[in-house]
Amino acid sequence: MSTAKEHFWEDRPVFVTGCTGILGSWLTKALVERGARVVGLIYDEDPRSWLYLSGTAERIVRVHGSVTDYALMERVLNEYEIDTCFHLAAQALVTVANRNPLSTFETNIRGTWVLLEAARRSPKVQRLVVASSDKAYGEQEKLPYTEEAPLQGRHPYDVSKSCADLIALSYAHTYDLPVGITRCGNIYGGGDLHWDRVVPGTIRSALCGERPIVRSDGTPTRDYLYVEDIVEAYILLAENLHRPEVRGEAFNFGLDDPKSVLEMVQAVLEAVGRPDLEPIILGQAEHEIRHQYLDASKARRVLGWEPRWSLEEGLRETVEWYRWFFGLGVRKVEGGIDA
């Protein structure tokens, strides 16, 4: 016998900002497969995005523009009678934020309040999931981070996520907007084309037969979570936003198994089958939080969320994706990898 939950997304109008990124691509694909009518916001087209390579782009309405354009956000929400929003659009690289903070603040902070204000004025929006980050907590003495920890980013990217997170909470608590906030660890999986990140950068190096380059000293610790587990977390949160104990709340999502950069690099090399490649440690990373990982017990208790993929299983799937992606066209590695 089918249940209402199984049909939850069928013919539901959904708006996804940032739909060409790693998470946006996989989330959009999952929503389409569940029968949702997805409208995706695209700022810059990248034909290598998983959104296009998977064929998902041909199955959605594509709107071109910026999340900072208020008139556009208001038009999309009203003309497509959007019921659910997933706000993922962001400048997501720490190194870029350090180099060019203004564009990061514009997209990550202004883009958030623009969408929230448009949603506040739309009578159709019933649920809105906003992507924050573990970076919103900044650096804390007490680990792992719980949702009660203060949001105290200090460097440009971290500050942008702290601000966006607080703005989302203000709309939830002041205007009763049906908002839920996700604070995730480092997401990995097929489709991440930012080669200065640990997982894709190490995989590309290993497939080239080259030693991976680590910009930090290799000791920073992070949460790493497979992209399909994060997709399920977002969908589950959206499905539960009608509940008083979920609406207006933030939730951590992590594997509860933090790894250092060097541990993660070694795990990736094992997954590729090249454990013999010794990393080159540069020790040059700046403005990096040393240790950062999450307590996901609230998501487990309130939402019933559980990750399905172990690190080994997720890396195995990820390596296979990149083998398919590169084929015979593997390119030489340049630069290094982030925490």
Report which of 154, 189, 151, 140 is spatially closest to residue 313, judged by C-alpha positions: 189
- Whether omega for the bond prior to residue 101 falls within 30 degrees of 0, making it cis, is no
What is the dihedral sign for C-alpha 121, 122, 126, 131? negative
HEC readout, 140-195: CCCCCECCCCCCCCCCHHHHHHHHHHHHHHHHHHHHCCCEEEEEECEEECCCCCCC
**DSSP class of 58:** G
Q: What are phi and psi of 213, to 5 degrees?
A: -105, 125
Q: What are phi and psi of 54, to 5 degrees?
A: -80, -10
Both tokens assigned to 16 = 């996804």
By the 8 A CB rule, do 138 and 165 touch?
A: no
User: From the candidates 43, 80, 145, 157, which is the catalytic residue?
Assistant: 157
The CB density around residue 335, as the number of other CB atoms within 10 Å, is 12
Beta strands 127-131 and 13-17 are unpaired
The CA–CA distances, whole Å, from 26 to 38, 112, 267 equal 13, 21, 23
Write out the DSSP string of 190-226: TT---TTSHHHHHHHHHHHT---EESS-S--EE-EEE
State which amino acid sits at residue 137: Y
**b/e 173-185 (16+ beta carbons within 10 angstroms → b):** eeeebbbbbbbbb
Active site residue 157: yes
By the 8 A CB rule, do 96 and 54 touch?
A: no
What is the dihedral sign for C-alpha 323, 329, 333, 337? negative
Q: How far apart are the first and last CA of the chain?
A: 46
Catalytic residue numbers, as ranges: 157
